[in-house]
């Protein structure tokens, strides 16, 4: 997970209705295709959670579920990002020590 994906998921968890991919793409300065790819990655990461990420043509993207389940999923995503940034920041020389 990268920072944009974490921010995107957190934003969608706080939204009450569908958010168009075009709006998200403008907000994060990426293409709509990138937004949909991020959503696919996020969906896979939180597949064990009790939330649903819904994509509705001409309406947008929405995260549905109980608030406690959304918070749990947000923590999962944040932990994945933290773990990946730790792995990226570790060089092979560091691992030998």
Residue-level pLDDT, tens digit, the chain, 97 residues: 899 999 999 999 999 999 999 999 999 999 999 999 999 999 999 999 999 999 999 999 999 999 999 999 999 999 988 888 776 655 444 444 4
Q: Contact at 8 Å (CB) between 25 and 34? A: yes
The CATH number for 3-89, chosen from 1.10.10.10, 3.40.630.30, 3.40.50.300, 3.30.750.24, is 1.10.10.10
pLDDT reported for residue 91: 45
pLDDT on residue 1: 87
Taking the C-alpha atoms of residue 88 and residue 73, their distance in angstroms, rounded to an integer, is: 23
Nearest 5 degrees, angle CA 41-CA 46-CA 52? 100
């Amino acid at each position: 997970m990268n920072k944009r994906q974490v921010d995107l998921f957190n934003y969608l968890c706080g939204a009450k209705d569908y958010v168009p991919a075009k709006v998200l793409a403008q907000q994060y300065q990426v293409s709509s295709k990138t937004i949909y790819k991020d959503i696919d990655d996020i969906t896979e990461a939180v597949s064990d959670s009790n939330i649903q990420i819904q994509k509705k043509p001409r309406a947008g993207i929405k995260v549905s579920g109980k608030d406690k389940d959304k918070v749990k999923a947000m923590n999962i995503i944040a932990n994945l990002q933290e773990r990946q940034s730790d792995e990226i920041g570790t060089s092979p020389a560091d691992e030998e020590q």
